[in-house]
């Protein structure tokens, strides 16, 4: 990696000194670590399929607030709408609804200022991108739902990148659910055509009997690099339910690390990625079953067209003594063209003997018989393909607990098919 890139990030970290209370030594520790390790390469197991040579070759400056931007329309009814523009919380454009009566939402700066030790509690990360996020984080939101409080409607976080050519946003969100609390976070990622890098870390703690739904809709601009990490811990009988949709960006990565820390903790992590030409979508999951009777289930469906690439790495670990763990994982990839690429790497590490763990991975093409059957009933090839792809991706949307979120995701998948299907049409008919 060019020295210049490392030096640029070291300078950025230094320039951020004093911006968030208590972060000084946390930043310097992180940047030292980054200077030592640098960006990962394809030789690193977790980075086999994400080609980040662009990150290695170019230092992204700190994104500045643009003069003006248009905030995307809502996709469903929400309890609140929180907007970050180029990685900075934009309170003017945000709408808290009535939420502040039931829970607390505040910028991470306020959270850290209230207590100097809090910076030390942040997840500093082991992979280079999380480490860099720790060194360069500037903003983010802290959500805290008190015990017993249930927030029904989704809380939407809109991440908008605009006019940030050559710049990056390193965002950190914290989510804390008290005992028996319930909330739905809907993260959206939107951007323009500029070449920017969005790098976020979301940390969540789900207490005993609490339930966090975490839905993500990634529709970044076509030149964007989107790298996101979720670090989640779940307490006794708690639930973490995630569904990630990757549609945009040239390179996109969603990496979920979920720790089931106490008996009866449960996680479902699902996702859909649709990669058009020259897009690369990577989804990584690591579910760590630490204690007995913890359960997890993953359903991932990816579609790749032309020179698109979709990859999945799913790891399940079951600790010594974590008996009666149930863990399932299903990955299916659909290639719409022979030039498209799909990678699957399921990984199971099991150190307990009384467990039920399963995984399945398949990579295939659209079923020619089903295509002909639909066409033989008068349905044109583009619509037939769309129906089959929707049916295929629907498996991963079934667990979404909110009908309007699920419908919005389906709409996006449909639009993607309508925009990308015609390239393939001739081949089906030929």
Partner 1 sequence: MLTVRDLRVSVENKEIIKGLSLEIKPGEVHAIMGLNGAGKSTLANTIAGRNDYEVTAGTIEFDGKDIKDLEPHERVGEGLFLGFQYPVEIPGVSNLNFMRTALNSVRRYRGEEDMSAAEFMKLVRVKAAELKMDLDMLKRFVNVGFSGGEKKRNEMVQMAVLNPKLAVLDETDSGLDIDALKVVADGINAQRRNDTAILLITHYQRLLNYVQPDVVHVMIDGKIVKSGGKELAAELEEKGYADVA
Residues lying near partner 1 in the complex (CB under 8 A) = 367-370, 372-381, 383-384, 387-388, 390-392, 394-395, 428-430
Closest distance of CB 403 from partner 1, Å: 16
Nearest to 168 by CA among 59, 93, 71, 91: 59
Tokens of 349: 């590490």
- The least distance separating partner 1 from the CB of residue 102, rounded to whole angstroms, comes to 38
- Closest to partner 1 by CB, 165 or 407: 407
In the complex, the smallest distance separating the C-beta of residue 366 from partner 1, rounded to whole angstroms, is: 11
Q: Which of 84, 85, 89 minimizes the C-alpha distance to 65? A: 85
| Residues whose CB falls within 8 Å of the CB of residue 340, separated by 6 or more in sequence, listed in order | 275, 304, 305, 306, 307, 308, 309
* Residue 296 near residue 259 (C-beta atoms within 8 A): no
Shortest spacing between CB 391 and partner 1, in angstroms: 3
Beta-bridge partner residues of 173 = 202
Cβ proximity to partner 1: between 72 and 360 the closer is 360
- Cβ closer to partner 1: 29 or 375? 375
Is the Cβ of residue 11 or residue 380 nearer to partner 1 in the bound state?
380
Q: How far is the CB of 413 from partner 1 (least distance, A)?
A: 12
Question: What DSSP designation does 150 have?
Answer: B
Nearest to 133 by CA among 240, 231, 258, 58: 231
User: What does the alpha-carbon distance between residue 223 and residue 210 come to, in Å, rounded to a whole number?
Assistant: 38
Within 13 Å and on the Cβ side, how many CA atoms surround 344? 20
351 vs 372 by CB, closer to partner 1? 372
Q: Residue length, the chain?
A: 430
Q: At closest approach, how far in Å is the CB of 374 from partner 1?
A: 7
Q: Which is nearer to partner 1, 403 or 430 (CB)?
A: 430
Compute the least distance from the CB of residue 385 to partner 1, in Å: 12
Q: How far is the CB of 368 from partner 1 (least distance, A)?
A: 8
Secondary element (H or E) of residue 411:
helix 403-420
Instruction: Specify the residue, 337 or 370, whose C-beta has the smaller distance to partner 1.
Output: 370
What's the CA gap between 374 and 381, in Å, rounded? 8
Give the nearer residue to partner 1 in terms of CB position, either 207 or 371: 371
Minimal distance, residue 383 CB to partner 1, in Å: 7
Q: What minimum distance in Å lies between the beta carbon of 369 and partner 1?
A: 5
Are 181 and 205 in contact by the 8 Å Cβ rule? The answer is no
Instruction: Say if residues 281 and 307 touch (Cβ distance below 8 Å).
Output: no
Comparing CB distances to partner 1, the nearer of 361 and 388 is: 388
Q: Is the dihedral of CA 129, 132, 138, 139 positive or negative?
A: positive
CB 341, min distance to partner 1, A = 24
Q: Which is nearer to partner 1, 165 or 390 (CB)?
A: 390
């Amino acid at each position: 990696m060019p020295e210049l890139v490392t030096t640029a990030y070291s300078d950025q970290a230094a320039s951020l000194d004093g911006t968030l209370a208590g972060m000084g030594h946390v930043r310097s520790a992180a940047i030292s670590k980054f200077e030592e390790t640098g960006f990962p390469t394809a030789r690193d197991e977790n980075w086999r399929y994400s080609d980040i040579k662009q990150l290695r070759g170019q230092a992204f400056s700190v994104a500045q607030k643009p003069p003006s931007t248009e905030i995307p329309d809502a996709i469903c009814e929400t309890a609140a709408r929180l907007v970050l523009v180029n990685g900075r919380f934009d309170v003017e454009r945000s709408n808290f609804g009535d939420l502040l009566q039931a829970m607390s939402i505040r910028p991470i700066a306020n959270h850290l200022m209230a207590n100097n030790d809090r910076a030390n509690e942040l997840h500093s990360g082991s992979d280079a991108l999380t480490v860099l996020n720790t060194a360069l984080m500037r903003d983010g939101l802290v959500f805290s739902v008190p015990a017993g409080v249930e927030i029904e409607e989704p809380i939407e976080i809109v991440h908008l990148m605009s006019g940030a050519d050559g710049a990056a946003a390193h965002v950190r969100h914290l989510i804390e659910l008290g005992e028996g609390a319930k909330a739905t976070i809907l993260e959206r990622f939107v951007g323009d055509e500029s070449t920017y890098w969005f790098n976020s870390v979301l940390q969540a703690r789900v207490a005993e009997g609490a339930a966090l739904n975490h839905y993500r809709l990634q529709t970044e601009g076509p030149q964007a690099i989107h790298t996101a990490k979720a670090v989640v811990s779940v307490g006794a009988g708690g639930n973490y339910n995630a569904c990630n949709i990757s549609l945009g960006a040239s390179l996109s990565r969603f990496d979920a690390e979920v720790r089931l820390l106490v008996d009866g903790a449960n996680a479902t992590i699902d996702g859909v990625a649709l990669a058009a030409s020259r897009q690369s979508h990577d989804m990584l999951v690591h579910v760590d079953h630490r204690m007995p009777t913890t359960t997890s289930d993953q359903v991932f469906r990816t579609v790749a067209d032309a020179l698109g690439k979709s990859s999945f790495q799913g790891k399940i670990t079951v600790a010594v003594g974590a008996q009666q763990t149930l863990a399932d994982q299903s990955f299916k990839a659909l290639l719409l063209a022979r030039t498209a690429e799909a990678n699957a790497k399921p990984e199971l590490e099991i150190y307990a003997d009384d467990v039920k763990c399963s995984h399945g991975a398949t990579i295939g093409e659209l079923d020619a018989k089903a295509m002909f059957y639909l066409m033989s009933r008068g349905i044109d090839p583009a619509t037939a393909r769309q129906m089959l792809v929707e049916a295929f991706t629907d498996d991963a949307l079934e667990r979404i607990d909110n009908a309007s979120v699920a419908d919005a995701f389906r709409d996006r998948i449909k639009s993607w098919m309508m925009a990308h299907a015609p390239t393939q049409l001739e081949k089906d008919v030929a």
